[in-house]
């Protein structure tokens, strides 16, 4: 099936054969096999990137939609970010102490995201959501947390459950879920568990769970319903923060203010970062020794200077590009519209979902004329096996993505869009021969 891809990637094949002897599933992050083993193949090993393109160790070029787990709004190897990192390396790359860059970066984040009355930095998004939930539990003096079906908030024990259909895995502890955009499902969760819920955590636009934006006023509704029950609302903006606008999406685009929020990915342009923060009274429980507080905060690499200076350089550039977000989001929206028109014409059982620069494609078990509105609906129709085969076809077409595609950046071009649509069309035609 992937004859062309396999023939041109011998070095990747050799590396993969070694990797499977070292790492469970061959990888250090589950989805970095990019579904290729499902095509009896292996992922390409990437050696370098520039702008919106990456190259594998065999010299093959890809249009990158993956963009480092959707982190790179400025593209690979942005000169400003690179210079900031090199300057810091010259000075010493980590001291395990407070640094000036940490304070400066905190100030810039607070300017852009007023919800962050107080914040803390970690090295990963998963740590940040873990600490946000821990703080919420301490503050509310309740144990239960609610999340959406399909919601991915990192690999911590608090939130790693109900990620893929049929959502039947048991939470490690004290977790319940609901179907985002489905008010009945949300109401039922509140009715059953409201008194015990410390927090509800939600991505304003569901990422890994299907690229699903909120229905009108869904987040406002969730805000009102949680507030009236003293349940903390946490927005996980690790994908959406600084991606859809200069700042956060929950308040800035969808009109709802959370108690706590988390950031990562785009906020430091590909360097390891997590941020959690929000209401001063809740964050006060993070002060060591605070009455009623729990131990939150730690991490040898928290507020790593390389991430702080990269973050500062990224925010400076994104501030300059503030007015271009509209252009970027329009490019994503019009791409998705053309994509779905093309898939409809081809009567293909695939659907493009997303919002602005976030664009996913899901292979379904039947042809749909409209994108599913909730992660539960999408999950029930999702064809895991065919999705892997489709991913493999895209890779063969020189399009690098996951969850079907990924996210655009300020350096993607109309040519990248045209080539992607052509590649998808070829991939769909090849799929029909399987």
Positions that interact with ligand PLP (CB under 6 A): 69, 124-126, 129, 152-154, 203, 207-208, 236, 238-239, 264, 274
Least distance from ligand PLP to the Cβ atom of residue 130, Å: 9
Report yes or no: 225 and 203 within 8 Å, Cβ to Cβ: no
Report yes or no: 228 and 196 within 8 Å, Cβ to Cβ: no
Least distance from ligand PLP to the Cβ atom of residue 71, Å: 9
Q: Report d(CA 366, CA 386) in Å as an integer.
A: 12
CB nearer to ligand PLP: pick between 46 and 431: 46
**Helix (H, G, I), strand (E, B), or coil: what is residue 310?**
helix
Residue nearest ligand PLP by beta-carbon distance: 125
Q: Which residues are within 8 A (CB) of 373 and not within 5 positions of it... i.e. 6 or more apart?
A: 181, 212, 215
**Side-by-side strand order, sheet with 260-263:** 118-122, 274-278, 260-263, 232-236, 197-202, 144-148, 175-178
Least distance from ligand PLP to the Cβ atom of residue 350, Å: 22
CB nearer to ligand PLP: pick between 203 and 416: 203
Q: What are phi and psi of 90, to 5 degrees?
A: -60, -35
Alpha-helix residue ranges (DSSP H) falling in 280-413? 280-283, 305-320, 325-345, 375-381, 384-396
Q: What are phi and psi of 230, to 5 degrees?
A: 55, 35
Q: What are phi and psi of 325, to 5 degrees?
A: -60, -35
CB nearer to ligand PLP: pick between 124 and 307: 124
Least distance from ligand PLP to the Cβ atom of residue 207, Å: 4
Report yes or no: 240 and 203 within 8 Å, Cβ to Cβ: yes
Can you spell out the DSSP letters for 8-48?
T-HHHHHHHHHHHHHSGGG-SSGGGGTTGGGGT--PPPEEE
Least distance from ligand PLP to the Cβ atom of residue 129, Å: 6
Least distance from ligand PLP to the Cβ atom of residue 355, Å: 13
Report yes or no: 348 and 331 within 8 Å, Cβ to Cβ: no
Q: Report d(CA 176, CA 260) in Å as an integer.
A: 19
CB nearer to ligand PLP: pick between 33 and 397: 33
Least distance from ligand PLP to the Cβ atom of residue 14, Å: 28
CB nearer to ligand PLP: pick between 5 and 242: 242
CB nearer to ligand PLP: pick between 175 and 264: 264
Q: What are phi and psi of 318, to 5 degrees?
A: -65, -30
CB nearer to ligand PLP: pick between 123 and 393: 123
CB nearer to ligand PLP: pick between 208 and 395: 208
Least distance from ligand PLP to the Cβ atom of residue 67, Å: 12
CB nearer to ligand PLP: pick between 101 and 124: 124
Alpha-helix residue ranges (DSSP H) falling in 142-240? 183-193, 218-227
Closest to 302 (Cα-Cα) out of 118, 128, 108: 128
Q: What Å distances lie between residue 312 and 88, 248, 322, 409, CA to CA?
A: 12, 17, 15, 18
Least distance from ligand PLP to the Cβ atom of residue 238, Å: 4
CB nearer to ligand PLP: pick between 19 and 267: 267
353-373 CB burial, b ≥16 within 10 A, e <16: bbbbbbbbbbbbeeebeebbb
Least distance from ligand PLP to the Cβ atom of residue 258, Å: 14
CB nearer to ligand PLP: pick between 214 and 264: 264
Half-sphere exposure of 106 (CA within 13 A, CB side): 18
Least distance from ligand PLP to the Cβ atom of residue 121, Å: 12
- Count of C-beta atoms within a 10 Å radius of residue 46: 18
């Amino acid at each position: 099936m992937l004859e062309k891809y396999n023939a041109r990637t011998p070095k990747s094949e050799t590396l993969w054969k070694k990797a499977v002897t070292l790492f469970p599933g061959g990888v250090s992050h589950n989805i970095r096999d990019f579904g290729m083993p499902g095509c009896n193949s292996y992922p390409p090993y990437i050696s370098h990137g520039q702008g919106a393109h990456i190259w594998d160790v065999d010299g093959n070029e890809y249009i990158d939609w993956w963009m480092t787990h959707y982190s790179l709004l400025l593209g690979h190897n942005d000169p400003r970010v690179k210079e900031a990192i090199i300057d810091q390396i010259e000075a010493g790359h980590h001291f395990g102490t407070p640094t000036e860059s940490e304070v400066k970066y905190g100030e810039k984040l607070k300017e852009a995201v007023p919800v962050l009355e107080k914040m803390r930095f970690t090295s990963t998004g998963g740590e940040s959501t873990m600490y946000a939930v821990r703080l919420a539990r301490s503050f509310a003096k309740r144990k239960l947390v609610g999340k959406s079906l399909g919601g991915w908030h990192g690999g911590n024990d608090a939130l790693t459950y109900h990620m893929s259909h049929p959502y039947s895995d048991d939470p490690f502890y004290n977790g319940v879920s609901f179907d985002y955009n489905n008010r009945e499902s949300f109401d039922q969760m509140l009715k059953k568990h409201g008194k015990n819920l410390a927090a509800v955590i939600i991505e304003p636009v569901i990422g890994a769970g299907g690229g699903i934006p909120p229905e009108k006023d869904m987040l406002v509704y969730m805000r009102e319903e949680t507030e009236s029950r003293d349940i903390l609302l946490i927005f996980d903006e690790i994908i959406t923060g600084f991606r859809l606008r200069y700042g956060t999406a929950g308040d800035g685009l969808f009109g709802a203010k959370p108690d706590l929020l988390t950031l990562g990915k785009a906020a430091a342009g590909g360097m390891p970062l997590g941020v959690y923060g929000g209401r001063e009274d809740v964050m006060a429980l993070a002060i060591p020794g605070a009455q009623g507080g729990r131990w939150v905060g730690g991490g040898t690499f928290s507020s790593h200077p390389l991430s702080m200076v990269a973050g500062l350089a990224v925010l400076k550039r994104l501030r300059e590009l503030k007015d271009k977000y509209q252009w970027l989001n329009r490019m994503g929206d019009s791409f998705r519209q053309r994509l779905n028109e093309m898939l409809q014409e081809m009567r293909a059982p695939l659907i493009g979902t997303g919002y602005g620069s976030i664009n996913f494609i899901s292979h379904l078990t039947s042809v749909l004329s409209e994108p599913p509105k909730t992660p539960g609906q999408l999950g029930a129709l999702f064809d895991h096996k065919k999705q892997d085969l489709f991913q493999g076809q895209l890779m063969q077409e020189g399009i690098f993505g996951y969850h079907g595609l990924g996210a655009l950046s300020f350096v993607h071009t109309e040519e990248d869009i045209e080539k992607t649509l052509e590649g998808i069309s070829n991939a769909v035609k090849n799929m029909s021969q399987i």
